[in-house]
Amino acid sequence: DGNLFIELFGDSDSDITDYEVLFINGADGKVTARIKLPKNSIMPEDGIFVIADSKTSSSTTTNIIESDLIDNFDPQNGPDCVQLLDNSGELLDSLGYGDGLPEVAENGLECFEGQPALDVPAGVSLTRTQGIDTDNNSVDFISQDTPTPGLI
* Domains present along the chain, CATH in parentheses: 5-144 (2.60.40)
**139 pLDDT exceeds 90?**
yes
**152 pLDDT exceeds 80?**
no
- What's this model's pTM, rounded to 2 decimal places? 0.94
CA–CA dist 117, 89 (Å, integer): 24
CA–CA dist 75, 56 (Å, integer): 14
- The DSSP letter of residue 17 is T
Residues of the chain above pLDDT 70, percent: 99
User: Which pLDDT score is estimated for 42?
Assistant: 98
User: Which pLDDT score is estimated for 123?
Assistant: 84
Length, in residues, of the chain: 152
Angle at CA of residue 23, ends 27 and 20, nearest 5°: 150
In terms of Cβ atoms closer than 10 Å to its own Cβ (0-12, 13-18, 19+), residue 65 is: exposed
CA–CA dist 152, 140 (Å, integer): 13
Tens-digit pLDDT profile for residues 77-131:
789 999 999 999 999 999 999 999 999 999 999 999 999 999 998 888 999 887 7
Nearest residue to 32 (alpha-carbon basis) of 90, 78, 98: 78
Query: Contact, 38 vs 17, CB < 8 A?
Result: yes
Q: Specify the pairing of strand 69-71 against strand 31-36.
A: unpaired
Of 10-14, 66-70, 124-128, which gets the smallest average pLDDT?
A: 124-128
Model confidence at 22, pLDDT cuts 50, 70, 90, reads: very high
Using CA atoms, how far residue 135 sits from 53, 54, 124, in Å, is: 27, 31, 22
CA–CA dist 12, 14 (Å, integer): 6
